[in-house]
């Protein structure tokens, strides 16, 4: 079984996907984290923010010997656990640009399909129901007001001890929404057969139960 959860940053995808996975005994794959791993690698190599065109070539090259791994919801880059590092603001600021590169997407989509082979999986991302698994058993599209999404991200980062301003997070969310939904390659959009759920004024429990009901009536 494949369940696809798509939607913009902060709409609640990963929180909900993790809970549904636990409840239903599914494997969870956070595909955004995979784009974050590539972005972290590029940042570590000093590739981003220097020179436009060369930058693109260097990122494409970096894909040839990319060493990433995902085990039990922990994320590894060159065998080091970077699960916390990939959530840092510097990664969030650059990830949408990296995720807009066709070659990066081709490689990630390929890995996502391989990872999901013969498993019952719930994946969250931007293109799961449209590109990665257009025949998914259930497609959910989560949305929420941008201000509410910024508040959620702010609370998460503050809890982790990051020194951040809510305005900056709000700006970053708007910028990412724009890049993610207007890019040429697999833009963020609701699949025709996806069910839209607005999480703005709903509790996590409410959204989880709504989705569990959908999953159960789909089996
Ligand atoms: O869900 P997230 O914030 O961790 O995602 C990080 C970025 O990765 C997001 O800005 C867009 C991109 N992304 C994507 O293009 N396709 C996916 N399937 C998942 C994420």
Residue 167: the pLDDT is: 97
Is residue 3 within 8 Å of residue 198, measured between CB atoms?
Answer: no
- Give residue 27's pLDDT: 96
Mean pLDDT, to the nearest integer, of 117-140?
A: 97
Contacts of 19 (CB under 8 A, 6+ apart): 204, 208
pTM of the model: 0.94
Please tell me the total number of residues recorded for the chain in this structure: 219
Confidence class for position 80, pLDDT limits 50, 70, 90:
very high
Domain boundaries, the chain: 2-209
Which residue's C-alpha comes closest to atom 9 of ligand 1? 96
Q: Give the atom of ligand 1 at the shortest distance from the alpha carbon of 95.
A: 7
pLDDT tens digits for range 131-149 = 999 999 999 999 999 999 9
Could you tell me what percent of the chain has a pLDDT over 90?
89
Query: Tokens for 19?
Result: 């809970």
> Residues 8, 188: contact at Cβ < 8 Å?
yes
Distance 95 CA to ligand 1 centre (A): 7
Q: Which of 101, 48, 82, 88 is nearest to 169 (CA)?
A: 88
Q: To test the ligand 1 pocket, which listed residue (38, 99, 184) has its Cβ within 8 A of the most ligand atoms?
A: 99
Q: Please tell me if the CB atom of residue 75 comes closer than 6 angstroms to any atom of ligand 1.
A: no
In CATH, what class is 2-209?
Answer: alpha beta
Reported confidence tier of residue 48, pLDDT bands at 50, 70, 90 = confident
The protein residue with its alpha carbon nearest to ligand 1, atom 10, reads 96
């Amino acid at each position: 079984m494949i369940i696809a959860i798509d939607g913009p940053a902060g709409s609640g995808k990963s929180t909900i996907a993790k809970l549904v996975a636990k409840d239903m005994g599914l494997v969870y794959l956070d595909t955004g984290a995979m784009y974050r791993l590539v972005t972290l690698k590029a940042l570590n190599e000093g590739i981003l923010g220097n020179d436009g065109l060369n930058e693109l070539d260097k990122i494409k090259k970096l894909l040839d010997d990319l060493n990433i791994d995902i085990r039990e919801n922990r994320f590894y880059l060159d065998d080091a656990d970077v699960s916390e590092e990939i959530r840092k603001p510097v990664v969030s600021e650059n990830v949408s640009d990296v995720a807009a590169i066709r070659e990066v997407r081709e490689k990630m989509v390929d890995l996502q399909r391989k990872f999901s082979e013969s498993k019952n999986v719930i994946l969250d991302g931007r293109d799961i129901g449209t590109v990665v698994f257009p025949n998914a058993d259930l497609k959910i599209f989560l949305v929420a007001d941008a201000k509410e999404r910024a508040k959620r991200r702010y609370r998460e980062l503050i809890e982790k001890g990051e020194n951040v301003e809510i305005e900056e997070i709000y700006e970053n969310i708007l910028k990412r929404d724009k890049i993610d939904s207007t890019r040429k390659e697999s833009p963020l959009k609701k699949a025709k057969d996806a069910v839209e759920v607005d999480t703005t004024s709903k509790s996590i429990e409410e959204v989880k139960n709504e989705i569990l009901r959908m999953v159960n009536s789909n089996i």
